[in-house]
Structure 1
Amino acid sequence: MPIRLSRQRAERARPGAPPTPVGLTTVGRVPAHRERRAAERADVPPQPRLPPSLTTAALPEHEPEPEAGYRRLDFADLDLGGRTVESVEFAQCRFRGVDLSRVTLDRAAFLDCVFARGSLANLHAERSSLIRTSLSAARMTGFTWTDGVVRDVTLDECRLDLSAWRYSRFGAASFTGCNLTRADFTGADLSGVQFTGCDLTRAQFSQARMAGTRFRDCTLLDVGGVTSWDGVVVSHQDLPALSYSLAAALGIRIADD
């Protein structure tokens, strides 16, 4: 049975080509030993802390309910789509092939959780937290995480086109091999976030805080909000595509001849 929670939540969010523009750093080829040291300095998200064994989740016993907590459960191939739940917490849980599409969450928390495959498409969450959580090969088109926390999180090979992360606060998070076309990071704090091998075509970064955000081997065509990129680190091979967005933001016209 679910564990009832008080309204005080554990680990709650704390408010907490052309010439390179001022504040934007490009990284070229560096010696291997320097590359290793840089990697060691980077904020690498820790892995979720799962126990050696989990209890198999089943419906209706583990149906998500408001003000409830679910711990050390293995959700496998279950249909949880379309639910609306407030103040729910999942801790040390694994979700394998689970359908969470069209779920609506408010003040939810996922701590030490693992998502593999499955669908979170059009999931809508507000004032919620993802902490020490990994997501891999998940369908997340239209995923919305507004005014929330994303800390110590890895997202690998996820389909995140049209996702929205407006005004969320990130810490030690990484996106690797993700489709982030038209993703919306308006007003988000992306300080220290790493994007590797991602497609960010037409992604929006207006009013985002991005000191220390890193992009490597990413597609950066028609990116919006590049005036917020003060302190960003971009690999040298990513700069040519980004240059067009930078030129447009500065009012520079590029001639064909």
Structure 2
Amino acid sequence: MRTTTVGDVKILLPDLDPDDLDRVTELADGLTEASVEGASWRGVRLEDCRIRSSRITGGDLSESTWEAGSLYGCEVTRTDFSGATLTGITIERCAITGSRFTGTRLTDVRLKDVLFDGCRFDYATFQRVTAAGSVAFTDCTLTHSTWSTCRLPGIALRLCDLAGLELNSCHLDGADLRSSSLRGLKAPLDNLSGVTLAEGQLPDLTQLAVTALGLTVRND
């Protein structure tokens, strides 16, 4: 069993043996124990597609639509999901690295034991995304994205750029935001209830509170 720890979050990761994976290029109705490199599935429409114990490298799923199904026990590296729509899928025990989710829409997505490392989520939309287990974002760009009605307690957001991220009716109790930039974050203060911050982030939190409460600060 392979694990990693981000802050206080321990994540189970896929433990794939390259010798056990079959090289494929077609997605068909799903993948099991497959290795895929450089495949272009741009604009593909998937329904109840299940991808298990597979490695996807340099793939193109931009502008795709994926409804229901799951991504389980997979390694996804340098893959483009820009402009994709992911609805009602489960992502579990996956490591997703250096991938692009610019403008991606994630709705009713369930996450469990997922590591997003070095990924771009700029202008992405998270709606009713839930964490059913350990989830971490490390060195990710979340600028100008929107999270609405998400339930992500205890997640880790470390070394992430949150400028312009909008939080609406989100539950992040216990989330670890240490080392992430809060400058430009847009959120009602109750969306940050129970999160963990570092002392150096307090000036940015103060500015967020001043903006959220509409305070006027004057130097007499």
The normalised TM-score by structure 2 is: 0.90
Cα 1:156–1:41 change in 2 (3 A) is closer
Q: How many residues align?
A: 213
Instruction: Give the conservation status (yes or no) of the 8 Å contact 2:7–2:156.
Output: no
Q: Residue 119 of structure 1: CA displacement?
A: 1.0
Q: Using the alignment, how far apart are the partners of 1:256 and 1:76 within structure 2?
A: 59
How does 1:22-171 map onto structure 2 within 5 Å?
A: 42-53=8-19, 54-58=21-25, 62-64=26-28, 68-170=29-131, 171=133
Q: Using the alignment, how far apart are the partners of 2:134 and 2:71 within structure 1?
A: 16
Identity of aligned residues (%): 23
**Partner of residue 218, structure 1:** 180
Instruction: Give the conservation status (yes or no) of the 8 Å contact 2:107–2:128.
Output: yes
1:191 and 2:153 correspond:
yes
Q: CA RMSD in A?
A: 1.8
SS at match of 2:201: helix
Instruction: Give the conservation status (yes or no) of the 8 Å contact 1:70–1:91.
Output: yes
Q: Using the alignment, how far apart are the partners of 1:140 and 1:40 within structure 2?
A: 21
Q: Max radius of gyration: which structure?
A: 1
Pick one of 225, 230, 250 that aligns with 2:213: 250
Instruction: Give the conservation status (yes or no) of the 8 Å contact 1:75–1:94.
Output: yes
Q: Residue 81 of structure 1: CA displacement?
A: 0.8
Instruction: Give the conservation status (yes or no) of the 8 Å contact 1:110–1:130.
Output: yes
Per-residue CA deviations over 1:175-201 (Å, capped at 9, x if unaligned) read 111111012121111101101110001
Per-residue CA deviations over 1:182-221 (Å, capped at 9, x if unaligned) read 1212111110110111000111111101110110111112
Q: Which amino acid aligns with 1:228?
A: N
Cα 1:229–1:133 change in 2 (3 A) is same
**Partner of residue 138, structure 2:** 176
Per-residue CA deviations over 1:46-103 (Å, capped at 9, x if unaligned) read 1113245210012xxx333xxx332000010110110111100000011101111111
Instruction: Give the conservation status (yes or no) of the 8 Å contact 1:130–1:149.
Output: yes
- Hey, which of these two has a bigger chunk of strand by percent? 2
**Partner of residue 5, structure 1:** none
Instruction: Give the conservation status (yes or no) of the 8 Å contact 1:145–1:164.
Output: yes
Q: Which amino acid aligns with 1:251?
A: G
Per-residue CA deviations over 1:114-134 (Å, capped at 9, x if unaligned) read 111121111111111110111
Structure 2 residue ranges without an equivalent (≥5): none
Structure 1 residue ranges without an equivalent (≥5): 1-38
**Partner of residue 10, structure 1:** none
Structure with larger RCO (C-alpha < 8 A, sep 6+): 1
**Partner of residue 17, structure 1:** none
The normalised TM-score by structure 1 is: 0.78
Per-residue CA deviations over 1:5-62 (Å, capped at 9, x if unaligned) read xxxxxxxxxxxxxxxxxxxxxxxxxxxxxxxxxx79822111113245210012xxx3
